[in-house]
Every structure is written in structure tokens, then in C-alpha cells.
Amino acid sequence: MLKKILKKFEDMNSNTVTQDMLVGDIVRLHPEVVDTLLSHGMHCLGCPSSQQESLANACMVHGLDPEKIVTAVNLAIQTEKQ
């Protein structure tokens, strides 16, 4: 359990998004990805569920491929950094 919590904080300090990160955390840490998520059909960013839902779970609910979304989000982060 502790390892899982520590991993979450490691992920949050990184500029790389993973499938197990919470949608709310992703949006809070990287607001530059909001347009990317919306353009891929993830319109639940303001939903209370997004605060406790992993990106993988949100993708499943919306019928999206989590690997494709992670790639697009990470590309948006890298593009913004340049």
C-alpha cells in the first residue's frame, strides 16, 4: 500500500502522465492537456468522478484507448515545454 502511495507522488512530480494517475491530478498538474483530452472525447474533466478516477478507468468508461490518450497527453506536455 505504501509503495502505491509513494509511486503516485513520484508520478505527480514527473512530466510524464501514466494510466494510473487520477484525471483530476493530471488536469491540476498539467492544465495544458485539457484541450487534448477534450478533443479525444473525454468531456468529464469537471465531473466530480474525475477527481477519484484513474485515466485508465476514465478511458474505459468513454470507450477510449488508454495508451493512445497517454501518448497524446504526454505529447501535449512535451510540446508545451518547448
Model confidence at 58: pLDDT above 90: yes
Would you state the pLDDT for residue 12?
54
For residue 25, give the C-alpha cell: 491530478
Q: How does residue 2 score in pLDDT terms, banded at 50, 70 and 90?
A: low
According to DSSP H, which parts of the chain are helical? 2-12, 23-29, 34-39, 55-62, 66-81
Q: How does residue 62 score in pLDDT terms, banded at 50, 70 and 90?
A: very high
pTM for this predicted structure: 0.80
